[in-house]
Chain A
């Protein structure tokens, strides 16, 4: 085959150019370490790389979330620890205050310590995190979760939303615990009540305490089912309990209705999960012959505490009218639409009003409207009795908050304990009995509150465990991801350098061949 001169030079130049190109490309791979610069270098690998990068980005998001969760949980844990310490201290104070040897002044000084603890608890429960958001408010981070009402009770102003963050492809964890769950849901041991129904005037002989729930399940299951109960004394040693439908259920009480009236410490009657303290005090004129007659005929109504309302007059009201009494008159309507979380009663004129759900904003629409009848405003099944003078003016507002007594915030428990300790009891057996029942219910409720706090701390611990496991899993997935990416994207240095050496050799050989062959020309010899 003939080789024309032009062809020879063109072919040599093209080959040299190709070799040089290859060397340049390999040199660039050697210096950058990357063999996949654009998708054309490896289209399938490029698509896989994009998927891996997406997975890495997601893992990065999960790590950010885990860090945020860790910070939030650590802070919550430390606050709950402090609260637990305060509750311990209050429990010890309560037990000390129950000793019979203390007098009013001693109790007052214990009461002062309890007041300190109350303030400390309030500020701990209203703690803020590093960004200035309240940690126990749920999703309403700018509202302090617990506020003190004008009558000394506390209400929860936050919501019940637990925020969640994703820490794995199918795993979300809660970021916060709401004040509702941790503090507001402590079961109230003092949720029963007794009322003297006969005789009309209390003669001081028979005293029955409000009762302390000793067994929650029994109370919910059996006591509530048959209330209200009537406990009537048939003699000085016997009483009978009938339930709402008139059945005799005395057999379920301690001693089946028999008791000893001369017992110095009184008798404890446990009935369907509630413990009542019964105290008989005979008057000087009572003789053993007349005891039965004077005791018989006393009767009490036993029931779970009905919902109680606190109606507070707004400070900006035009008139000084007050709501003197609030009670549920239509249970069905009350259950079906009385605003949960509190209401606002607003008067549009001295005789017409509107009821709104709390909070009242410019865009609120009234739940119901009505007019005052006989000094009573009835809305959503609740009757509000108004003071007659002065009558309410237009635009007067009353804030209505509801206490169902099923649960009790620990702040209310401590506050009630403080108030009981500040009350003098010297020489007043009724006051002494109130103090005893207050201390008993405080001890029980403080125990319940501590339980709730412990539950929350346990939940934090469990979440921490889950986070640790997830974090380890995320890390190992990340490692696999990184190594797969580098196997696709990165060049193997050994292979690249070997290739570079070979291509350099080929280039040198081509140069040598060209130098030698181009000197061979017949014209040089002629």
Chain B
């Protein structure tokens, strides 16, 4: 029974509490710190006869005020918020790029058609022709520029994934080291508060990079990614690395190495900055690249096609203004062979047959035999069916068809088909001679001098279209038209007519109804190179009441003509539905398609903004909840300081009293 000992125990307990309070105060700004409290227990009492007298106090524990549930909330909300912020940061850039009138395509496209309209009013004006050519170069240059920016975004994502994977590895090793240390210290009894706090903080930082699931077993924290791939188990770490996707080398994918084998976790990863970037790449960047590419391809195709149907200033059929979308180089670059294919297998050529049916998507083609293959559309995971390489005509899937490039392929090979990915980057203006801009229509009709009736014939149109991607057919029909003209339609009576070719041979007869608009289709025969008999057809509308003996001549439009019918047809492309035709809808025009692209990216960005605001609120709430429990409040600690100071003073009084008792006892003797 020693008052001194009791005083000493109180003193040391108060001292420890003061030190803990001081520790809390100095750690007020430490990230992830949980405030610590001392827990005191009274010492066991000693029995004197039938009374128990206490022996003082002892420090039972310095515990940290901590709730693992709140901590887990903070971690998951951190990963959500990082995901949303990374997604928003990237999406905003694409949104600005596409919708800004200085960088977007809309103004350049409008300026191109405006120059075309000026040309339609004065087809022989060299300045107007040059202006159109310059505008075409501006248009293709704009597509190139935007596509370049989008490509840089893709490269940026690959680079970021690489550096983030390194960071993840570092943080994961740190967590594993903490796991080891904590289990060593815990096994010898005691709770290492700082280590626990620091481990939690490291896991939170990890969540900023990638979404994790954390389970606590026996004091160690195991971290799992995605759909259960273990990143840290106890003190072992499975490292992440970034490599080129075997199906598509332009994209990086994230790979986890585990016990000598590798798993590709790109598609199951979510959350954190990495998850946000991957989500952005799938949902915004790839559709934007494909959508832009599709528009560029349709513009080049439709303008070239229409120019090919008309005559230029020299009286020859028109040349192409933009690059050929089915050139040998272009068709061989649209298919990417999987890195795991049979090394002896060749690659595929992808020819675009109908630009209006293109969907802005990539495709997965898998061979089930040497010639049979199945196609899956990747944007919405639709199975497009099974086809065969040997079928003629080649099957057209969503506007493109496949053929072998060089060597044969083997069963099991797979290819990624990207029909529209590089079209915007490849778009170029190839015409240099403005004389070759075909603004005139090929055929012109004239009424004969001696006509006595009131019949009138509209300007004729060549109804057989020239296929600019089939040089044989194109040359054949061009030569046939040139050689067959002029053609004469002679009225043999007021309602019957006969058609004669240039040599006076009758090539057909027909009837009209006088006084009405008669849409006629005249078939002109010719023989092709192999001697087969073919025809091309010419459309003309005859109205009024011609008399017997009246005739109408159809001839090739002369060189240097200011006829502007082909220019008008090119202008009609502004409103013609040329993009995205499906079974249920006829499609939309160029500018509407671009508007749809801008609007889609805008909506995704807007959604990203809302997500970022929402997750920001959630993470702030989670942080507040955790801080409210575990955070240090200086006022509270100030109160504690005062409290423990008093307890210390009171305990020191006990010692003073004990000392006085002793000296009283000594002095009495």
**Hey, which bits of chain A sit against chain B, CB under 8 A?**
1-7, 10-11, 14, 38-44, 46-47, 50-51, 53-54, 57-58, 60-61, 64-65, 68, 131, 133, 139-142, 159-161, 163-166, 172, 175, 180, 184, 220, 224, 307, 333, 335-337, 339-341, 357, 363, 365, 367-368, 380, 402-407, 521-523, 526
Contact = CB atoms under 8 A, between A and B. Distances in A.
B557 A139 contact: yes
B595 A51 contact: yes
Which interface residue of B117, B445, B636 has the most chain A CB atoms within 10 A? B117
B7 interface: no
A64 B118 CA distance: 8
Contact of B449 (A6, A42, A50, A402): A402
Contacts of A42: 602
B605 interface: yes
Nearest to A67: B121
A7 B635 contact: no
A43 B560 CA distance: 48
Interface string B460-492: 000000000000000000000011001010100
A57 B602 contact: no
Contacts of B601: 39
A130 to B, nearest CB: 11
Contacts of B122: 68, 131, 133
B606 interface: yes
A407 B447 CA distance: 13
Contacts of A404: 448-450
Contacts of A523: 634, 638
Given A39-B98, A340-B553, A142 B124 contact: yes
Given A159-B446, A159-B558, A43 B599 contact: yes
A113 B4 CA distance: 151
B491 to A, nearest CB: 10
Give the interface size bracket for B toward A: 35 or more
A141 B601 CA distance: 49
Contact of B632 (A6, A46, A307, A368): A6
Contact of B568 (A1, A64, A164): A164
Contacts of B445: 160
Contact of B609 (A11, A40, A164): A40
Given A44-B599, A336-B504, A336-B506, 15 more contacts: A4-B632, A4-B633, A7-B623, A7-B631, A41-B602, A42-B602, A50-B106, A50-B594, A57-B114, A68-B121, A163-B564, A175-B121, A336-B490, A337-B488, A341-B446
A341 B552 CA distance: 12
Nearest to B560: A142
A50 B121 contact: no
A340 B448 contact: yes
Interface of B: 28-29, 35, 91-92, 95-96, 98-100, 106, 110, 113-114, 117-118, 120-122, 124-125, 440, 444-452, 459, 482-483, 486, 488, 490, 498, 500-504, 506, 547, 549, 551, 553, 555, 557-558, 560-564, 568, 571, 574, 591-592, 594-596, 598-603, 605-606, 608-609, 620, 623-624, 627-636, 638-639, 642
Nearest to B595: A50
B638 A50 contact: no
B125 A4 contact: no
Given A6-B28, A6-B29, A57 B503 contact: no
Contact of B486 (A10, A140, A340, A363): A340
A58 B501 CA distance: 42
A341 B29 CA distance: 99
A145 B276 CA distance: 71
Nearest to B486: A357
Given A5-B633, A6-B631, A50-B594, A159 B444 contact: yes
Which interface residue of A14, A220, A335 has the most chain B CB atoms within 10 A? A335
Contacts of A526: 638, 642
Contacts of A10: 623
Contacts of B591: 50-51, 54
Contacts of B446: 159-160, 180, 340-341
Contacts of A60: 114
Contacts of A44: 599
Contacts, number: 227
Contact of A11 (B500, B620, B636): B620
A184 B624 CA distance: 94
Contacts of B450: 307, 404-406
A328 to B, nearest CB: 12
A365 B598 contact: no
A235 to B, nearest CB: 36
Nearest to A181: B447
A220 B450 CA distance: 12
Contacts of A161: 444, 459, 561, 563
A83 to B, nearest CB: 21
25 contacts: A3-B628, A5-B634, A40-B602, A41-B602, A46-B99, A46-B595, A50-B106, A64-B114, A64-B117, A131-B125, A133-B122, A139-B444, A141-B124, A141-B560, A165-B120, A335-B490, A336-B488, A337-B501, A339-B486, A340-B449, A340-B553, A341-B446, A341-B553, A405-B450, A521-B634
Given A6-B631, A40-B606, A53 B486 contact: no
A1 B628 CA distance: 7
Contacts of A47: 595-596, 598-599, 602
A384 B601 CA distance: 76
B113 A61 contact: yes
Contacts of A41: 602, 606
Contacts of B551: 335, 340
A68 B128 CA distance: 14
Given A38-B100, A140-B558, A521-B635, A51 B592 contact: yes
A24 to B, nearest CB: 16
A367 B605 contact: no
B117 A65 contact: yes
For the complex of A and B, the 7 pairs showing the least CB-CB separation, nearest first, are: A4-B631, A39-B602, A404-B450, A337-B504, A47-B599, A40-B605, A43-B602
Contact of A53 (B110, B571, B623): B110
Nearest to A338: B504
Nearest to B316: A363
Contacts of A405: 450
Given A6-B29, A57-B113, A522 B635 contact: yes
A403 B448 CA distance: 11
Contacts of B35: 4
Nearest to A363: B482
B622 to A, nearest CB: 12
Nearest to B440: A139
A14 B620 CA distance: 9
Nearest to B491: A335
Contacts of A11: 620, 624
Given A3-B628, A139-B557, A142-B124, A61 B488 contact: no
Which interface residue of B623, B630, B633 has the most chain A CB atoms within 10 A? B633
